[in-house]
Structure 1
Amino acid sequence: MKIHQFLDATYLKTAKQAAITEEENLQNVIKLAEEAIAHNYKLIMIRSNYISTVRKMLIAAKSTVLIGTVIDFPNGNSTLEKKLTEAQKAINLAADELDFVINYTAFKEGNVALIKNEVISCVALCLKNNKVAKFIIEVAALSNEEIIVISQLVKQVVLDTYGEENAKHVFVKSSTGFFKTENNKPNGATLESIKLISENAKPLKIKAAGGVRDYGMAIKMISLGVDRIGTSSSKEIINKEQNLNQGY
């Protein structure tokens, strides 16, 4: 398996979150971009203020690695207008894929109309600009029933509004990786949550993010129908595959 083409190599910490300087944080992004180019990952997922730097690196290397960024991250509770403004800025910076944090709080409160409007408007902007839209539903904040319902909701809105031919341009994504859970419960993708998303969101694509840190878990996720894996452990995953291919 060419697992590198499933990997969205991810670094989303701000300098403050990483407790380092802005320059040190930039160097972390550059290091990840160099790794992504070397291993031909599918995508590098970064904050929008680093897009221009990474785009220049990819062009210089003649690399096919894509650039993704996050919108309304990590809480997803901004107005639709703010979401779309942030997304347009990312598009103007030449991001290829936009990972929107859906307003899962509003969804939990029963505001289905707001969620429908977000999906319709965000997908419209992405399709107009030939970009991919991903909707982060934040599984750690949802019950299993809520995961099923929101996955079906996003799917149905996309299919009803844009047709099955555009399903390949829209993902349902599990997690931000930044959600604060109680009692050290997983705050990212689990096999259970990904199974529920896969069963209820396809033919939309699926991205497992948060907590996928090794090759074995990555393979299990792919076996459940995942199309992309967001991880800060891309190097460990690809090194394991290389060792297996070499018989180690």
Structure 2
Amino acid sequence: MPSVREVAAMIDHSLLRPELTRAEVLAGLATASEYATASVCVRPADVAPAVAELRGSGVVVGTVVGFPHGGATTTTKVRETAELVALGAGEIDMVVDIGRLRDGDAGYVEEQIAAVVAAADGRPVKVILENAYLSDEQKVAGCAASERAGAAYVKTSTGFAAGGATAEDIALMRRSVSPRVGVKAAGGVRTLDALLTLHDLGATRFGATTTTAILDDLARRLASRDE
């Protein structure tokens, strides 16, 4: 079983719910810092305060582009990315143009992702496919377009659609990209067992809101094993 530190280093602690207050965001940032998660994924308006709050913690501030529907123009997504990078965002999770992907317009999808990757200026871009709306063929096409465009990860979901990460989707996505592209599971990853199952299938990053519960559960299991 992995250590608490190893699992924390795979979690993007998610603070994306629209109703979160500033106090709730600050509490979430404190959680990410306490557990040394890979990153914290915040709403665009929270990037600057999150960067200031987490400076020196080692926790990367990530954020979202075209979220949650993906239907913004390429120009809008590029400008949003550039602004957020200038504010200190270290990772970008962008929502693919879901409708264009369903249309079979892989060329447009690839070009848009590539434009966001360029605007991110070397920072990892994770492409959210929103699998709940896609056929397996469309998921594979989205993964291929993401890799060709230079994305660092393909990601299952925003967490705001009807469905989230599934074992079947993680296995499919892992098969659909080369080893240089990671797979991020998001949407419904609320327990340690769910995380470990998806990790075994190839996911290496996880969007989670229940970070404390997941990591505390792991700590208890490890302590019980050592008794």
Q: Where do 5+ consecutive residues of structure 1 fail to align?
A: 19-24, 159-168, 182-186
2:17 to 8, 13, 16: 13
1:162 paired residue number: none
Secondary structure of the 2:125 match is strand
1:90 to 81, 84, 88: 84
Aligned length: 220
User: Residue 108 of structure 2 aligns to which amino acid in structure 1?
Assistant: L
Q: Where do 5+ consecutive residues of structure 2 fail to align?
A: none
User: Residue 235 of structure 1 aligns to which amino acid in structure 2?
Assistant: T
Structure 1 residue 207: deviation in Å? 0.6
2:169 to 172, 178, 193: 193
2:155 paired residue number: 173
State the identity %: 26
Structure 1 residue 152: deviation in Å? 2.2
Matched, 1:217 2:194: yes
Structure 1 residue 156: deviation in Å? 3.3
Q: Is the 8 A contact 2:95 2:129 kept in 1?
A: yes
Secondary structure of the 1:87 match is helix
When the two structures are superposed, what TM-score results if normalisation uses the length of structure 2? Answer: 0.93
Paired with 1:3 and 1:136, the residues of 2 have a C-alpha distance of: 22
2:54 paired residue number: 58
Paired with 1:116 and 1:229, the residues of 2 have a C-alpha distance of: 24
Paired with 1:219 and 1:213, the residues of 2 have a C-alpha distance of: 11
What root-mean-square deviation, in Å, do the aligned CA atoms of Structure 1 and Structure 2 show? 1.3
Shifted more, 206-215 versus 193-202: the winner is 193-202
Q: Is the 8 A contact 1:123 1:170 kept in 2?
A: no
Paired with 2:71 and 2:117, the residues of 1 have a C-alpha distance of: 18
How is 1:117-132 mapped onto 2 (pairs within 5 angstroms)?
117-126=111-120, 128=121, 130-132=122-124
How is 1:146-165 mapped onto 2 (pairs within 5 angstroms)?
146-158=138-150
Structure 1 residue 148: deviation in Å? 1.8
Residues 114-157 of structure 1: CA deviation (Å, up to 9, x unaligned): 1121122111222x3x3111100001011122212221232234
Secondary structure of the 2:9 match is helix
**Structure 1 segments of 4+ aligned residues over 6 angstroms from their partners:** none
